[in-house]
Amino acid sequence: MSAANLRLDLPDMPEAAAQLRLDVRAFIDEERKAGRLPPPERVGLGFSQEMTKRIAARGWIGLTWPKKYGGQERSALERYVVTEELLAAAVPVGAHWVADRQSGPVLLKFGTEEQRQEYLPRIVAGECGFCIGMSEPESGSDLASLKSRAQKVDGGWKINGRKIWTTNAHRVHYMIALVRTSVVEGARHAGISQLIIDLQAPGVTISPIISMAGEHDFNEVLLEDVFVPDKALIGQEGNGWNQVSAELAYERSGPERWLSSFRLIAELIDVLGPDARPSSQEELGRLLSHLLALRQLSMSVASMIQQGQTPNLEAAIVKDLGTKFEQEAVRVVRNIVSAENLTAHGRADRLKALLIHAQQYSPAFTIRGGTNEILRGIIAKGIGLR
């Protein structure tokens, strides 16, 4: 390994992306003027089925997918532009986020034609959302130890098990669950498959898990003799681990990994003026340099995905850096707010509320979607240490 291998090319942004960016900004302006997009007092992805419908009406869900499924066959870099504009404005995109980023692309890559026909046009229309059924109570970082079982029965599979930390399971329609379909002695990554579960099916029980930030985003999903038909199997039986690995570059490198706390920084900037003390300006400048670096990295990885590469090492680095940045952002904003006495005496109430919530939320940044320690294990492998 040499550091020279650890290098990203600068992307070529397609011409159409500039117009697309302006279109998204115009949409956000309209939403703001109509009072549908107040400045947020919480960090993280909001959830609004109505907003998802309006975004879908613009054609911005499934942007890169084939036209025959309702997509527009535009590039990954154009999708990148749409997502970062929406996230930077804190548009609540949670209702379609997972389906657009991950579930749809998995179906395109591994699904059957029937599955694509059934789900993709509805995702594009903003009518159906997905959640990810990976973690289990006893299988967190060690995902391959999962115990949920799908047993082959006549015409389909019978699933028993328990999924946990399932974001939005109580609000979306389907889960792509990672379950064990066979036991292969000595090969723990084998025998795992991906199945689509209708969350309305008999035997599915969804219970809320309230986070320390007071939110109900997570759930525990109990699966008791849940029947899914044969056509619910994605890709090959037993190939689930490889399929999941292929998703991870999408999941890890996106702008959501460094834009969750963007509104907090925006509120600080709004309140802060040029008379801020030099130490505050230095801390802010340092934070901004990390923000700009992450944006450049994220765009470069989007460009690699566009070229058909699977940049798992680079994506793991973006998520490690991005989530650390988000925690650092909360710390820096807190320090500057304190040093400059910005929220005393009822000033800057929105900044104050957002900062409280961001502090409560911040431990999740480096845990959700794979802990940073696991990511660093992947990076270590990528640079030849294991």
Partner 1 sequence: MSDNQQFFRDTAERILADRLEQKHIVAAESRVLPGELFATLAENGIFLMLVPEEQGGIGASVAEALAILKPAGSAAAPGPLLETMLGNGLLAQAGVAPVEGTIALAFVGADELAGAVTLHDVGWGGLADHVLVVADDAGRARLTLSAGADWLATPGEGAAGEPSDRLSAPSLPGASAVLDAAGSYADALRRAALLRAGQQLGAIEWSFTRSIDYTGERSQFGKPIAKFQVIQQMLAELAGHVLAASTLLDAAAVGLSETLVAAAISRVGDAADSAIAICHQVHGAIGYSKEYALNYRTRRLMAWRADFGGVEYWRGALARGFITATREQFWPAVSDAGLQGAA
The interface region with partner 1, picked from 81-89, 154-162, 188-196, 203-211 by CB under 8 A, is: 81-89
Asked if 18 touches partner 1 (CB under 8 A), the answer is yes
| Minimum CB distance to partner 1 smaller for 132 or for 351 | 351
Task: Give, as ranges, the residues between 215 and 254 that touch partner 1 (CB under 8 A).
Answer: none
Task: Give, as ranges, the residues between 288 and 317 that touch partner 1 (CB under 8 A).
Answer: 288-297, 299-300, 303, 314, 317
Residues in Cβ contact with 227 at an 8 Å cutoff, skipping those fewer than 6 apart: 153, 156, 157, 158, 159, 201, 202, 203
Asked if 70 touches partner 1 (CB under 8 A), the answer is no
Task: Give, as ranges, the residues between 162 and 181 that touch partner 1 (CB under 8 A).
Answer: none
Taken in order 80, 86, 89, 95, is the CA torsion positive or negative? Answer: negative
Asked if 8 touches partner 1 (CB under 8 A), the answer is yes
Asked if 7 touches partner 1 (CB under 8 A), the answer is yes
Residue 191 and residue 151 in contact, taking contact as beta carbons nearer than 8 Å = no
Q: Contacting partner 1 (CB under 8 A), which of 276, 353, 356, 367?
A: 276
Name residue 136's beta-bridge partners.
139
What is the DSSP-derived secondary structure letter of residue 9? P
| Minimum CB distance to partner 1 smaller for 122 or for 357 | 357
CB of 17 to partner 1, least distance (A): 4
Asked if 212 touches partner 1 (CB under 8 A), the answer is no
| Minimum CB distance to partner 1 smaller for 152 or for 286 | 286
Task: Give, as ranges, the residues between 349 and 378 that touch partner 1 (CB under 8 A).
Answer: 373, 375-377
Q: List, as one string, the DSSP characters of 163-186.
A: EES-TTTTTSSEEEEEEES---TT
Asked if 346 touches partner 1 (CB under 8 A), the answer is no
Please report which helix (H) or strand (E) contains residue 311, including its range. Answer: none
Q: List, as one string, the DSSP characters of 63-105.
A: TTS-GGGT-----HHHHHHHHHHHHHTT---HHHHHIIIIIHH
